[in-house]
Structure 1
Amino acid sequence: MTELQKAKRRVKAVRAIRRSSELEGARSTDATRADQVAYARGTITAAELRDRVRRRYKLQ
């Protein structure tokens, strides 16, 4: 898979996550949205995104 394909896949995943939240009547916080953008850009990994969100909301 090329880097462009990976980037498109990350963007698609973030859009799906946001859409799912909105369908449930919720919206990600600005901090979480910033982390999602970092993931979409490839600055952080999916695991780092997950860990940041879990830490933010004190989830185990």
Structure 2
Amino acid sequence: MDRVLAIDAARINRALEGACSTEATRADQDAYVRGEVDIAELGHRVRSRYGLS
């Protein structure tokens, strides 16, 4: 799946659940879309931010 579509889908799903991403998470997602980080790094950053790793 295209990175842009994947992030758009994730953001839409969060909104449908009544939540939204933080500015920091959106910045990490944007870095993923630009190819600066891979999906594993994106997941690590988000989990670390919320104390899930």
TM superposition score category, shorter chain reference: over 0.9
Higher radius of gyration, 1 or 2: 1
Unaligned runs of 5+ in 2: none
Partner of 1:19: 12
State the SS of the aligned residue for 1:27: coil
Q: Whose relative contact order is higher, 1 or 2, with alpha carbons under 8 Å and at least 6 apart?
A: 1
Superposition RMSD in Å: 1.1
1:16 shift after superposition: 0.2
* Structure 2 counterparts to residues 1-60 of structure 1, below 5 A: 9-60=2-53
Q: Which stretches of structure 1, 4 residues or longer, exceed 2 Å deviation after superposition?
A: none
Query: When the two structures are aligned, how many residues end up with a matched partner?
Result: 53
**AA in 2 matched with 1:29:** T
Question: Deviations along 1:15-38, whole A, 9 cap, x unmatched?
Answer: 000000000000000000000000
